[in-house]
């Protein structure tokens, strides 16, 4: 069955008053400090043991750090979880530092779990401090979940919070945040659960004949220049696409499709891989900045499973690759192959949020492990 939980999780983003900037920056520095500590600890442990520390393993090392740094103790825990998730995601032994000063300063980010924030007469309390904000949503009507404080590039601070089951009475409810599932593919670069298909490839397709000609003629410089041009246009197209998506949705779930598993040739592999992972990286940081929920979802069987009745009646295997549309034998629904997959991805993402066991996504994004703590 298709879990319909789209209305139980919402993310709200509220602007904090500027007078708190100094305090929040101080917290952000503390967060960066914990992050750096995790980075160092993790690297050292790896060098000695050739094994990775889990977030849980790190906990004893940071005991009391929250108090010392003025952070909520669960914030420290949340940073560790985030660190580990990122390390896995990027498959790196060492991650980039979060920088507190200078030109390359990281934008402030302070994650929290549900139990770390409280709403009281127009203010949000965090780590013993009341923070004033423009309460555009009527926070008193919600039960606050996990989230983060985040800074934008202009130095403004936001309170990003997940809320559950808003009451139906009260001030005008915020516009429900719509979520979307995204299937990355070969035919269409991307298909959304709303049925939109985007072919990012079209932006540089016209360069391909030129590239082939140059390759045949053995013009190395020309080939190199054309490759660069293709890469540029693709990047540009993906920027536009990811920006549009982050402006349209409050939660974005993307299938974790892996190019090496799909592409037949070496060339196809490199081309596709670059596009997919580039897109996911862009989408992730844009979501982080905007406080939009972003998560990669396991896409196994999303093509074969009927998004209406969940029976696995869809096209299977290599023979099914060419099939664009199909009808479910069990419930009779007619599906577009990719839209159906995107709908399954959306359902999976939402189900994980509801269960409270999601893989944690991004720095600055509103987060879900915290939903566990918020239960």
| Residue 115, C-beta contacts closer than 8 angstroms, at least 6 positions apart | 74, 373, 374
Selected binder of Zn ion within 93, 99, 228, 330 (CB under 5 A): 330
C-beta of residue 119 within 8 angstroms of C-beta of residue 89: no
Whichever of 33 and 308 has its CB closer to Zn ion, that residue is 308
Going through 286-346 in order, the beta strands assigned E by DSSP cover: 293-297, 325-327, 334-336
Whichever of 107 and 308 has its CB closer to Zn ion, that residue is 308
CB of 133 to Zn ion, least distance (A): 45
> H helices of 50-171, where?
55-58, 65-69, 73-90
Q: Does 331 bind Zn ion (CB under 5 A)?
A: yes
Whichever of 166 and 314 has its CB closer to Zn ion, that residue is 314
Residues 76-135 that bind Zn ion (CB under 5 A): none
CB of 330 to Zn ion, least distance (A): 4
Whichever of 306 and 363 has its CB closer to Zn ion, that residue is 306
Q: How many residues bind Zn ion (CB under 5 A)?
A: 6
Q: How far apart are the two ends of the chain, measured CA to CA in Å?
A: 24
Of 238-246, 262-270, 323-331, 366-374, the segment contacting Zn ion by CB under 5 A is: 323-331
Q: Does 341 bind Zn ion (CB under 5 A)?
A: no
Residues 275-314 that bind Zn ion (CB under 5 A): 306, 308-309
CB of 91 to Zn ion, least distance (A): 37
C-beta of residue 3 within 8 angstroms of C-beta of residue 354: yes
| Cα(252)–Cα(209) distance, integer angstroms | 35
Whichever of 248 and 333 has its CB closer to Zn ion, that residue is 333
Whichever of 93 and 331 has its CB closer to Zn ion, that residue is 331
Which contacts of 313-322 are long-range, i.e. CB under 8 A and separated by 24 or more positions? 314/340
CB of 319 to Zn ion, least distance (A): 20
Q: Extract the tokens encoding 173.
A: 């409810």
Whichever of 242 and 302 has its CB closer to Zn ion, that residue is 302
Percentages helix, strand, coil for the chain (3-state, rounded to 5) are 45, 20, 35
CB of 354 to Zn ion, least distance (A): 22
| Residue 110, C-beta contacts closer than 8 angstroms, at least 6 positions apart | 24, 27, 28, 31, 71, 75, 126, 148, 149, 150
Whichever of 124 and 328 has its CB closer to Zn ion, that residue is 328
Selected binder of Zn ion within 28, 53, 133, 328 (CB under 5 A): 328
CB of 314 to Zn ion, least distance (A): 9
| Cα(160)–Cα(14) distance, integer angstroms | 6
Give me the sign of the Cα torsion angle 191, 370, 84, 82. positive
Of 56-64, 187-195, 320-328, 365-373, the segment contacting Zn ion by CB under 5 A is: 320-328
CB of 316 to Zn ion, least distance (A): 15
CB of 339 to Zn ion, least distance (A): 14
Interface map 210-249 toward Zn ion (x if CB under 5 A): ----------------------------------------
| Cα(23)–Cα(16) distance, integer angstroms | 12
Q: Extract the tokens encoding 103.
A: 């030109």
> H helices of 18-72, where?
21-49, 55-58, 65-69
Q: Which residues bind Zn ion (CB under 5 A)?
A: 306, 308-309, 328, 330-331
């Amino acid at each position: 069955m298709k879990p319909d939980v789209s209305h139980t999780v919402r993310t709200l983003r509220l602007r904090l008053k500027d007078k708190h900037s100094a305090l929040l920056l101080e917290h952000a520095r503390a967060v960066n400090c914990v992050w750096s500590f995790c980075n160092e600890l993790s690297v050292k442990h790896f060098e000695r043991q050739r094994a990775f520390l889990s977030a849980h393993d790190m906990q004893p090392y940071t005991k009391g750090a929250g108090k010392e740094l003025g952070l909520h103790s669960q914030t420290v825990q949340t940073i560790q979880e985030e660190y580990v998730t990122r390390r896995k995601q990027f498959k790196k032994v060492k991650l980039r530092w979060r920088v507190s000063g200078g030109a390359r300063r990281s934008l402030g980010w302070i994650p929290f779990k549900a139990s770390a924030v409280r709403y009281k007469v127009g203010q949000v309390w965090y780590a013993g401090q009341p923070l004033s904000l423009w309460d555009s949503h009527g926070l008193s009507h919600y039960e606050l979940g996990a989230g983060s404080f985040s800074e934008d590039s202009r130095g403004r601070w936001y309170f990003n919070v997940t809320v559950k089951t808003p009451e139906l009475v009260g001030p005008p409810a915020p516009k429900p945040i719509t979520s979307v599932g995204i299937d990355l593919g070969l035919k269409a670069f991307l298909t959304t659960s709303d049925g939109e298909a985007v072919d990012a490839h079209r932006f540089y397709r016209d360069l391909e004949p030129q590239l082939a000609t140059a390759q045949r003629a053995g013009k190395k410089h020309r080939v190199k220049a054309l490759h660069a041009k293709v890469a540029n246009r693709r990047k540009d197209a993906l920027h536009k696409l990811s920006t549009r998506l982050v402006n349209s949705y409050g939660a974005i779930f993307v299938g974790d499709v892996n190019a090496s598993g799909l592409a037949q040739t070496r060339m196809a592999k490199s081309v596709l891989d670059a596009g997919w992972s580039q897109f996911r990286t862009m989408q992730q940081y844009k979501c982080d900045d905007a406080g939009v929920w972003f998560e990669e979802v396991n896409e196994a069987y999303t093509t074969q499973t009927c998004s209406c009745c969940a029976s696995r009646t869809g096209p299977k295997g290599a023979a099914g690759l060419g099939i664009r549309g199909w009808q479910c034998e069990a419930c009779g629904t007619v599906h577009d192959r990719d839209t159906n997959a995107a709908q399954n991805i959306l359902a999976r993402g939402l189900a994980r949020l509801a269960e409270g066991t999601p893989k944690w996504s991004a720095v600055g994004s509103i987060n879900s492990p915290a939903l566990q703590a918020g239960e």
